[in-house]
Amino acid sequence: MGIRVMKFGGTSVGSLERMKRVARRIADRFDAGDQVVVVVSAMGKTTDELVRLAEQTAKRPNKRELDLLLSTGEQQAIALLTMTLNDLGYAAVSLTGWQAGIRTDSVFGNARIQSIHTERLHEHLRRGEIVVVAGFQGISDRDDITTLGRGGSDTTAVALAAALNAELCEIYTDVDGVFTTDPRVVPAARKIDEISYDEMLEMAYLGAGVLHPRAVENAKKYGVPLVVRSSFNDSPGTVIKEETVLEKNNSVTGLAFERDVARISVIGLPNRLSKLTEVFEVLAQARINVDIIVQNVLSEAETTVSFTLAGKDLDEAAAVLRSQQKKLDFRLLDIETGLAKVSIIGSGMASNPGVAAAMFKALTDRSILIKMVSTSEIKVSTVIPLDRMEEALTALHATFRLEDPAYTALKR
């Protein structure tokens, strides 16, 4: 009898009717002989509503108190789901993140799990109980309640699966699995049966919202088998593991995109390595993440460095750089908005030359301007105008024939 971790997102438990459906699915798994640990997110839009309430209360809500407030959303969900399981005749117990032994650092709003003490979890499992754990939360060494940031419940589920040496971690969501790209943007998008950790990690970082990157990172690190599947039907979903079989020869596995992208160019920077370092140290100190970086040497004396970042961080980044203009000694900032990032991902790209060329040709044939490029062994990302993003995705999906699972694009 193995341990199975089942994680249900906010949409899956968004109403009492849906919660009853989830409870029935959990009960079926328990009846099949597994020990079951369930991780649950807050119901529906509860977290958003709590954030809105905090912002109406204070201009800048205290981060410690905000974590305390937000953690209550998951607590409501686990209590209600446990009551539902009890009503079906099953022994079940709900545990908050800290009751489940999840210890974190003290970074409120984006804490990271440091350790998990599993003694209490194992005790309940030995009693034959279904354990329902609140996702998204833990407790710091100072005994403060913390939350894990965006995608925190996914991270909780994978971390628990690793700590408990679970046979499988299932992520239940409102889609049937991982798709070649978002089917709402490209209707021809197809569900992928298997995908590697590395491919899924790139897709998650590059904009695919099915799984959070931290969850995939932990799954890869600890070898936790993952399945992403729908909570509304019995589709087998998508298996995420170290190596895939069904599509390992494909040069491109999927497409990812980000809509709200901005570009900043720091022009006239002294052409010294130390200045380049200083620019990004200034941004790092302000906790601003940058993405694609390109340097253009204008002369022996001057250089320009351009980088992309999330549009929501643009104003703060520009303000920080302008406040340090004298120290950094650059001439001006050039800012561009209305951009998107479109990426192709696939572990087969490393052994299939010509993939990048095919991508660029598909875009240039449609006169889609490529503003910046970033590559790795398994991905190529391009920055393009936002108003051409959907056209670009459709063209690339067709170029690499991602709608056809039997096709191996650009074989050697």
**pLDDT above 70: residue 246:** no
Query: Could you tell me if residue 397 is inside a domain?
Result: yes
Query: Could you tell me if residue 211 is inside a domain?
Result: no
Query: Could you tell me if residue 236 is inside a domain?
Result: no
Answer yes or no: are the C-beta atoms of 300 and 246 closer than 8 Å. no
Answer yes or no: are the C-beta atoms of 204 and 198 closer than 8 Å. no
**Is 250 in the same domain as 169?**
no
> Could you tell me the CATH number of the domain that includes residue 78?
3.40.1160.10
**pLDDT above 70: residue 410:** no
Which tens digits make up the pLDDT trace of 353-386? 789 999 999 999 999 999 999 998 889 999 999 9
Query: Could you tell me if residue 326 is inside a domain?
Result: yes
More confident residue, 205 or 362: 362
For range 281-289, the mean pLDDT: 92
For range 299-320, the mean pLDDT: 92
> Could you tell me the CATH number of the domain that includes residue 321?
3.30.2130.10
**Is 168 in the same domain as 297?**
no
Domain boundary residue among 174, 193, 222?
174
**pLDDT above 60: residue 249:** no
**Is 158 in the same domain as 292?**
no
Minimal CA–CA distance to 31: which of 60, 11, 1?
1
Could you give the percent of the chain with pLDDT greater than 70? 95
Query: Could you tell me if residue 234 is inside a domain?
Result: no
Q: What pLDDT is attached to residue 411?
A: 39
Query: Could you tell me if residue 194 is inside a domain?
Result: no
Number of domains in the chain: 2
**Is 12 in the same domain as 150?**
yes
Minimal CA–CA distance to 199: which of 183, 181, 184?
181
Q: What pLDDT is attached to residue 408?
A: 45
Domain boundary residue among 127, 157, 174?
174
Burial of 353 (0-12, 13-18, 19+ CB in 10 A): exposed
**Is 154 in the same domain as 280?**
no
User: Across the chain, what does the average pLDDT equal?
Assistant: 92
**pLDDT above 90: residue 348:** no
Could you give the percent of the chain with pLDDT greater than 90? 80
Query: Could you tell me if residue 48 is inside a domain?
Result: yes
**Is 273 in the same domain as 167?**
no
**Is 154 in the same domain as 260?**
no
DSSP string, 313-379: GHHHHHHHHHHTHHHHT-SEEEEEEEEEEEEEE-GGGGGSTTHHHHHHHHHHTTT----EEEEETTE
Mode of pairing for the β-strands spanning 145-147 and 137-140: antiparallel
CB atoms within 10 A of CB 206: 22
Query: Could you tell me if residue 225 is inside a domain?
Result: no
Domain hosting 100: range is: 3-174
Domain boundary residue among 174, 193, 227?
174
**Is 289 in the same domain as 400?**
yes
The full length of the chain comes to 412
**Is 163 in the same domain as 272?**
no
Token pair for residue 380? 């190529």
Q: What pLDDT is attached to residue 336?
A: 97
